[in-house]
Amino acid sequence: MNFQVVETVISKHSLIIPFITKDLEKKLIVLIEQFALPPALLSDFKAGADEVIALYTHTHATIEKIILLGLGESFSAQSLQKSMRLLVNKQKEKLGQNVVIDLGKIYPQDAATNEDEISKCVESCVSGALLATYNIGKFKTKDNPPSSFPENYTFVLPKNLHETAQDAIRKGEILASTQQHIFDLVNLPVNHLNSLQLAEFAENAGKEYNFSVRVLHLEEIKNLGMGGLIAINQGSDTPATFIIMEYKPVTDKPLKKIGLVGKGVTFDTGGISIKDSDGMWQMKCDMAGAATVIGTVEAVARLQLPVHLIGIVPSTDNMINGKAICPGDIVHTYSGLTIEIEDTDAEGRVILADGLAYLHKNFEPDVMIDLATLTGACVVSLGYHAAGLFTHNDELAAQLSKAGEQTNERVWRLPLWDDYDKYIKSDMGDVKNFGGRPAGAITAAKFLEKFVNKHTAWAHLDIAGVAFGDSAFSNARSATGYGLRLLVAYIENGIKSSV
């Protein structure tokens, strides 16, 4: 796909015009007069979310078709991206090869001089159009005809906004392509993506996008004493990996150091505490936190943001054989703390314990954030519309909440009170890995808290309900790419506030 910005369009094209419901009648009257469209349009088009009406016109030299796209009551970058993705995906073969997008009906009248508003609109359209092309059916064997997506997208804007729009195009392209990489990682089954292949993907991304990647393999993991990761990997035929990514631009200016840790369980049977078979196929998504961390490092490197970013991914599957970890076992972790295993299906927090402790000890970041599809309890609490946010740091909570609202990758803060410690108190070890059904998301977060060495700016994001879900673009549940845009927005906001 090609995206460009011009002052005037002279070639034949389809015209997409997004609308919000505010002042809709006035805007439609102008449109009807401008293109000699039927007056019935005033009653036919309500600009509801994702509403589409296609109209043909014979009165204009270059416009062959006009597509009205509804966004709902108010403009947001997320609604525009979502609606554009749906439109391009569902109407791709009806749009033609050349598409012009008219943004003048959705942003405020003074936005012609508001670079931020224009940037958000352009980036959203670019991301939506590119995400529409994602093909989940990578293993289909039928000889289906290739989809015909529009090739050229054009934004018509004044010359003084062209540089802003070009920057937004570049950002939209980077975020959308990175998000598609995350889709691939999370959607792939374990026979196509195990811990070794996940590490290889990270290594290739580092080479292509200029960030460093070091992969620790099983012997080195053992030598370092990462007993949590080793314990969960015991039942697997595929050795664990521990992925360390680092992006640090060359500059004389001081850089904020942010550390990310992602749960990389490539498939979770539950181990000896085995899961029900119903829906177990979805457990290929249990490395969504890892995929988001890898994707975030990739995107930040491609955007060349002035930040020192570290990404840590402990990775294994959670399988069952004669060597698999048992309930009641005691595990010695990298931090020195011991874990009593009460439930082998609470495995993600056990490998994250080593990841968090390693990050803190070896990098001493200013901020630590981990992401994990950690608990069904978080889904019970928040459903499929927000991740659980756990932190003692009010400022960090506010920053992540703000980024979540900006990107529609929302978070909701839950408590980390010490009252919950009693649920994970172990008689045999320092802590046990399961605190029972009550407050399951909270006790999981309290477990992780033991391994950050009282870091004052640590946050845990439980993404179990938002990383893999229902979609208009697949028949079954599939990857959402949750967390990439949230973390990039959080990092960008921090950079802006420090200037």
pLDDT of residue 113: 56
- Enumerate the active-site residues: 275, 349
d(C-alpha 96, C-alpha 422), whole Å = 63
Number of domains making up the chain? 2
Strands (DSSP E) found in 236-391: 241-247, 257-262, 264-268, 308-318, 330-332, 338-340, 367-372, 387-391
pLDDT of residue 105: 82
Domain extent at residue 201: 178-498
What integer is the mean pLDDT of 140-146?
74
d(C-alpha 131, C-alpha 154), whole Å = 17
Residue ending a domain, among 72, 103, 133, is 133
* CB-CB contact of 28 with 55 (8 Å): no
> Which of 8, 363, 310 minimizes the C-alpha distance to 159?
8
pLDDT of residue 334: 98
> Which of 487, 484, 490, 489 minimizes the C-alpha distance to 176?
484
In a domain, 160, yes or no: no
In tens, the pLDDT along 236-286 reads: 999 999 999 999 999 999 999 999 999 999 999 999 999 999 999 999 999
Least confident of 69-73, 204-208, 422-426: 69-73
The H or E element spanning position 191 is none
Same domain, 83 and 198: no
Same domain, 102 and 182: no
Label residue 302 by pLDDT band (50, 70, 90): very high
Q: What is the mean pLDDT of the chain?
A: 95
In tens, the pLDDT along 201-235 reads: 999 999 999 999 999 999 999 999 999 999 999 99
* Upper half-sphere CA count for residue 82 (Cβ side, 13 Å): 17
Instruction: Say how many C-beta atoms besides its own lie within 10 A of residue 491's C-beta.
Output: 23
Structure tokens at 382: 């928040």
> Percentage of the chain surpassing pLDDT 70?
98
Tell me how many helices (H) and strands (E) the chain has: 14, 20
Same domain, 188 and 254: yes
pLDDT of residue 146: 67
Same domain, 121 and 190: no
Question: What do you get for the CA distance between the two ends of the chain, in Å?
Answer: 35
Same domain, 116 and 239: no
* CB-CB contact of 288 with 362 (8 Å): no
In a domain, 352, yes or no: yes
pLDDT of residue 114: 78
Same domain, 241 and 385: yes
The domain that holds 248 is classified in CATH as: 3.40.630.10
In 188-321, which ranges are continuous DSSP H helix? 195-209, 218-223, 227-233, 288-303
> Percentage of the chain surpassing pLDDT 90?
89
In a domain, 155, yes or no: no
Same domain, 328 and 223: yes
Q: Is the pLDDT of residue 401 over 70?
A: yes
The H or E element spanning position 348 is helix 348-363
* CB-CB contact of 264 with 314 (8 Å): yes
In a domain, 419, yes or no: yes
DSSP label at 58? S
Same domain, 119 and 197: no
Same domain, 420 and 484: yes
The domain that holds 127 is classified in CATH as: 3.40.220.10
What integer is the mean pLDDT of 466-494?
96
Structure tokens at 418: 């010490």
pLDDT of residue 309: 98
> Given CA atoms 204, 206, 210, 216 in this order, what sign does their dihedral have?
negative
Q: How far, CA to CA in Å, does 59 sit from each of 63, 86, 101, 381?
A: 8, 28, 19, 55
d(C-alpha 378, C-alpha 442), whole Å = 8
Structure tokens at 274: 């085995």
Q: Is the pLDDT of residue 143 over 70?
A: no
The amino acid at residue 113 is: T
Chain mean position to CA 494: 19
Structure tokens at 293: 């961390």
In a domain, 28, yes or no: yes
Residue 66, classed as helix, strand or coil, is strand
pLDDT of residue 60: 76
pLDDT of residue 457: 98
In a domain, 99, yes or no: yes
Strands (DSSP E) found in 76-177: 98-101, 152-156
Same domain, 109 and 183: no
Same domain, 272 and 393: yes
Label residue 57 by pLDDT band (50, 70, 90): confident
* CB-CB contact of 306 with 255 (8 Å): yes
In a domain, 75, yes or no: yes
d(C-alpha 405, C-alpha 397), whole Å = 12
Label residue 198 by pLDDT band (50, 70, 90): very high
DSSP label at 367? E
CA-angle at 424, arms to 455 and 281, nearest 5° = 95
Label residue 144 by pLDDT band (50, 70, 90): low
In a domain, 170, yes or no: no
Q: Is the pLDDT of residue 320 over 60?
A: yes
Which residue is it, tokens 């570049």?
A: 170
